[in-house]
A and B are shown apart, each in its own frame.
Chain A
Amino acid sequence: MTVSSVLALSTFLQFVAAGLAFRLIRVTGRRWAWSLIAIAITLMAVRRSVTFFRIISDDAALAPNLSAELVALAISILMVVGIASITPFFTSIQRSKKTDRDVSQILETYFESTLTCLVLLDPKFNFIRVNKAYAQACGRRIEDFPGHNHFEFYPSDAQAIFEEVVRTKKPFETAVKPFVFPDHPECGVTHWDWTLTPLLDGDGEVELLVFSLVDVTERKNAERAVVLSEERYRSLVAASTAVVWTADGEGTFVERQESWEQFTGQPWEQHKGWGWAEMLHPDDRDQLSAKWAQAVADRTEYESQGRVYHKASDAYRHYETRAIPLFDEDGSIREWVGTLTDVHERKIAEDALQASEAQTRLLLDSTGEAIFGLDLNGNCTFCNPACVRILGYNDAAQLLGKNMHDLIHHTSAEGSPYPMDECRIFRAFREGTGTHVDDEVLWRADGSSFPAEYWSHPIREGERVTGSVVTFVDITERKRADEALRESERRFRAMLETVDLVAVLLDVRGRVTFCNEFLAVVTGYDREELTGQDWFEKIVAPDQRKRAKREFLDNVASGTVAPHQEGDIITRNRETRSILWNSTVLRDTDHNIIGIAMLGVDVTDQKLADEALKQASVRTRTILDAAAEGIIAMDQRGTVETFNRAAERMFGYSVEEVLGQNIKMLMQPSDRDRHDAYLADYLRTGVKNIIGKRRELTGVRRDGTTFPLDLHVSEVDLGHRRIYSGILTDTTERKQAEQALRESEQRLQIALQSVRMGFYDYDVKTRSVIRTEGTAEILGVSYESFRGDYEDFAKRLHPEDRERVTSTIKGVLRDGAEEDGYAVEYRLVRPNGGVRWIADRSTVYRDQSGRATRILGTVLDITERKQAEDRAKMHVAELAHVTRVSTMGEMASGIAHEINQPLTAVVNFTTGSLRKLKAGKPVSDEVLHALDQASQQARRAGEIIRRLGVFVQKREPKRATVDLNDAVTEVVEFMSAEARREEVTVHLELGVDIPTVIGDNIQLQQVVLNLVRNGIEAMGEADVETRRLEIRTSRTGPKEVGVSVSDRGPGLPAGAADKIFTAFHTTKAEGMGMGLPISRSIIEAHGGRLWADANSEGGATFYFTLPVAPRERVQ
């Protein structure tokens, strides 16, 4: 029994040995040797099993010998152990040393597995053999080829090339001399790169042709895409307001510039050479031409700003010009490529800001961001249209003055009441710190709510908080997008498991936290073996390990990753693979960096194609680089494919750092999320949320600083895929302008409040006030009851002022009126009956046809000023009266003489007549004439006394239209007797067409009288021949008339021309020295001026001017 057991055991072991031997056949290359060994052992084992069964069936003849069986067992054990120990040896040989393997087998394997199409042809071009790749590419089976001629299947001009190769025995390469086979689009292959290499036999004759083809359809498509994209760029440029131009090395236009012609309307004959300069604004022309000539001479990039004539708008527009020289190999400039970018609107906006604070208000109103202001009670002080719209109201008035917590923030998202003292909006002015909240809801007018993100900033006046400014956005879309993003992330992970890309996530120390199955396949490690390991120690090639690890730690520290990092990894089999890595910094929801995700692709075979692609896009690149706007193209995943020079300048990254990276690296974290959401949304729904629209984003520069930018994204369908091009404009300056606007707005508010001034913006078309600040207060009505239209305003005007004010406004508003505004003062009647004086100053805006479109104006309550003015006028009137009385006193003797003359005549005529009548003479015509003369002279005396009475009477000043010529003539008549007595010749020169003035006739005559008297008196000591007083009236300006009184007296006291106007300064023995001061007061109260000048021929001239009366209405 023991013997049979030993026999059984040894037999079993022999079977095991046979099995191992059979396995070695497969593992080693020596099939025959191992096959023989295996068969021999098998036969031996079979024979022994037969023996064993015989023993079992008690065939005594075969009684086993125990010792012999033990020897057999030992041999069997040795066989098993030997073969088993040899197996790993062969296995390791097979795995480690490729060179030890049969070269033909490698070739065979390569032949069948390579993606390169390989064809073996005989010298007559008959197919000997093709590989799978070729058969697939040609859409046939492998066995279809042998026995057929290549040109039977694919007739083409290439036959000549093939024949040439056979004749010359030299290989042909399309890389050296391109030849394109006719397309076979039905196979999906449209482009080949191919070589044909002859193999020579021992006699040096061509034995075999190796025909190798690489499908470069993808690359060609990409190249075509570059051309397409260039075309697209050109058409974009053509369609936009930008102008692209090229000039030769001398800076002259040598070919027709279509976009220039289109823009300026200047035909080629005129813009060629330096003719284009004619289209520059005349003020800029010399300077810009010189600058351009300098740039051409210096061979440097050219940048300038100026105005260029724009045909479509028939006006000069502000443009920014940039030009870049393209150099030849020899260093000479081949051509200049330049662009003009419209910066007109920005210029205008900046100018407008400086010109008018009110205009900049419009900018605020036009922003999409909702903005409102709060006072310390939480009541709304202002709100922009976006705010009104988002909250679902129709009019800002529905918000103004309302408590915003009660109105839009009264209830939490869960539906529970939100107490006002916990309000986080109000925290800004309660605690004086800005708040930022994104987990609450705001309530619309219709009772619905929306999730909102808001910022509340305190407004300070010095140290004091006076309220807050709140901006908010509706984040419904974002919330939804966040949800979609999480879903997309789940899918993305699933996808990572199926793609042929290596994916690995590393934590901040470089340890693997996740890797996909493909990585395990490539490296030969199990995923479990890699997880938790140091990636750099385990996988990265030793010569790159230190550098890679250092860069990784830098990246983690800075939060940025370099794009397209190429690196080598070592597989378990110690093979080196070259991987192009695309890495992304991973962040948690709080934006803390938690690691880096790397996605890799084997790039060894792609490098040549990449190089060619780069060269092809040089020109596109140059044009893109010349653009002043940043241009970024990306694929559907946001991977950057184009990044022009303007973008480099904007972001501080070089193009190499950005290409291949995700566009998100240029965004700030909040925008990244939003971007992901947009993408997720777009990829899921196809709804283009951002494409074709202009968006405002915040860009993040390489140094981490941020700047505002405008992004406009377009989609380009390249057929096999879509790319997205973004055009970016740095809006820092515009933002600064907007910021300045906000500040100025705040200043405006404060200013309006502090001066009790109102501001309004009136839309002429709708006849309604579209914006107003403080006017309701001035009108004495509440916002609700002021309808804000013109009729409502006119209704409130004082009846005496209504006609005047409405006709003034209508006059300014009529088409083509020259006035650019008006300034009127009027009275408004308040609902409570109170009357307020208002000063209203406005600016009228017109469209190009001269039609008035808007009025921006301010109203100021000037009631107090008016009252003060009235008091001042009364004061002047009283003083004037006192002075007149005093003047009359000074003139008493003269006046007495004046009255004496007619009285004397009366007495003489009457006494003479009486004597004649008493003497009995008849009542003759002579007597009657004398009596008539007497009565005339009596009237003359009466007239003098009447005028005197008028002059000294005390009365309220009356404002009426005064004809200056009449007034002056009357005074001169009054003074004629005195002038005669003083032997002064009075020369009166009245101007023709002197318009009337508004004023008090007596006061104005008082001034003239004063000047005439002074003039006469000044000449008291002069020679009789030179005593000449010249009085003139004239029109001194479009809205001004003047009177001058010129004497030949001693002139003005030296250096005291103005002293004479001060009270109680007098050169005369009589008089109180009030004449000139009161004259000046009177004239100034009438809105005029009074002054004196020395005459060149001696004496002095006194002048006064008065504003003409407002034009009488012309029917």
Chain B
Amino acid sequence: MNPDEPIVHVVDDDPAVRESLKWMIESGGFNVATYDRAKVFLDTYDPNRFGCVVADVRMPGISGLELQEQLAATDVTLPVIIISGYGDVPIAVRAMRTGAVDFIEKPFDDQLLLTRIREAVEKNIRSRGIRAERSGS
């Protein structure tokens, strides 16, 4: 795997949903890494790679929103896309406020998700570029 290529981190405790997301996102031309728990992701991901995170809002242990909050607290600016079940409107509002890039309801349109992932990755690249320039100056 080319370390310079962006990677999409999929965090979902439901194996079927996790594997299907991997399959679908890969079909959109992205590299995908999957995690069944947020903690596993936090312990193992490479902060230097571009990409984004797709996380289910409801998970045992650290939820999607908490994952987003923890990432925001670090210097790592990985955008987080929260996916959620039907009708979790209060959670969606909270997610947006805490700075999640996006919020998508299940079941979702594949194009919509891929578009959002692409936007997120680009956003990540941009923010990294700015940071690199700053550090470079």
Contacts and interface: CB of A to CB of B under 8 A. Distances in A.
A907 B108 contact: yes
A930 interface: yes
Given A908-B23, A913-B27, A930-B23, A901 B14 contact: yes
A900 B107 contact: yes
Nearest to A929: B23
B126 interface: no
A909 B61 contact: no
Interface residues of B, number: 24
A92 interface: no
A897 B87 CA distance: 9
Interface in B112-136: none
B16 A900 contact: no
A662 B14 CA distance: 111
Interface string B78-119: 000001011100000000000000000011101000000000
Contact of B20 (A896, A900, A908): A908
A900 B27 contact: no
Interface of A: 893, 896-897, 900-909, 911-913, 915-916, 919, 930, 933-934, 936-937, 940, 980-981, 983, 1024
B86 A908 contact: no
B20 A933 contact: yes
A547 B23 CA distance: 138
A913 B28 CA distance: 10
A893 B88 CA distance: 9
A936 B19 CA distance: 13
A900 B26 contact: no
A905 B19 contact: yes
Contact of B106 (A903, A915, A919): A903
Given A896-B87, A908-B21, A912-B26, 8 more contacts: A893-B85, A897-B85, A900-B85, A903-B106, A906-B107, A909-B20, A934-B20, A1024-B61
A900 to B, nearest CB: 5
19 contacts: A900-B86, A904-B17, A904-B20, A904-B107, A905-B16, A905-B20, A908-B23, A908-B24, A909-B20, A911-B24, A912-B26, A912-B27, A915-B110, A919-B27, A930-B23, A933-B19, A937-B16, A980-B13, A983-B60
Contacts of A908: 17, 20-21, 23-24, 110
A900, A906, A916 pick with most chain B CB within 10 angstroms: A900
A909 B108 contact: no
A948 to B, nearest CB: 15
Nearest to B58: A981
A911 B111 CA distance: 9
A329 B101 CA distance: 127
A904 B108 contact: yes
A921 to B, nearest CB: 9
B107 A915 contact: no
B10 to A, nearest CB: 10
Nearest to A907: B107
Contacts of A900: 85-86, 106-107
Interface string B24-65: 111110000000000000000000000000000010110000
A897 B86 contact: yes
Contacts of B107: 900, 903-904, 906-907
A893 B87 contact: yes
Nearest to A934: B20
A916 B21 CA distance: 14
A936 B85 CA distance: 20
Contacts of A980: 13, 60
A909 B106 contact: no
Contact of A901 (B16, B28, B87, B108): B16
A912 to B, nearest CB: 4
A907 B110 contact: yes
A915 to B, nearest CB: 4
B110 A901 contact: no
Contact of A904 (B23, B61, B106): B106
Chain A interface main SS type: helix
A223 to B, nearest CB: 112
Cβ-closest 5 pairs across A and B: A908-B20, A912-B24, A911-B110, A912-B27, A905-B20
Contact of B28 (A905, A915, A937): A915
B70 to A, nearest CB: 16
Nearest to A1024: B61
A911 B24 CA distance: 6
Contacts of B23: 908-909, 912-913, 930, 933
A809 to B, nearest CB: 58
Contacts of B85: 893, 896-897, 900-901
Nearest to B110: A911
Nearest to B114: A915
A625 B43 CA distance: 107
A983 B61 contact: yes
Contacts of B14: 901, 905
A933 B86 CA distance: 22
A915 B25 CA distance: 10
Contacts of B26: 912
A54 B87 CA distance: 190
A549 B36 CA distance: 128
A44 to B, nearest CB: 175
B56 to A, nearest CB: 9
Contacts of B61: 983, 1024
B69 to A, nearest CB: 17
A980 B61 CA distance: 10
A936 B27 CA distance: 20
A909 B21 CA distance: 8
A902 B20 CA distance: 10
A694 B107 CA distance: 101
Nearest to B23: A912
Contacts of B87: 893, 896
Contacts of B24: 908-909, 911-912, 915
Nearest to B60: A983
A7 B13 CA distance: 184
Nearest to A916: B27
B107 to A, nearest CB: 4
A904, A912, A980 pick with most chain B CB within 10 angstroms: A904
Contacts of A909: 20, 23-24
B113 to A, nearest CB: 9
Nearest to A893: B87
Nearest to A926: B23
A933 B85 CA distance: 20
A905 B17 CA distance: 5
A912 B21 CA distance: 8
Contacts of B28: 912, 915
Contacts of A907: 20, 107-108, 110
Contacts of B58: 897, 981
Contacts of A915: 24, 27-28, 110
Contacts of B86: 893, 896-897, 900
A896 B58 CA distance: 14
A934 B27 CA distance: 15
Nearest to A937: B16
A933 B20 CA distance: 8
A753 B20 CA distance: 76
A901 B106 CA distance: 8
B17, B20, B25 pick with most chain A CB within 10 angstroms: B20
B17 A901 contact: yes
A1067 to B, nearest CB: 22
Nearest to A940: B16
Contacts of B16: 901-902, 905, 933, 936-937, 940
A903 B105 CA distance: 12
A679 to B, nearest CB: 107
Contacts of B83: 904
A426 B58 CA distance: 92
Contacts of A913: 23, 27
Contacts of B21: 908
B27 A937 contact: no
Nearest to B106: A904
A339 B16 CA distance: 94
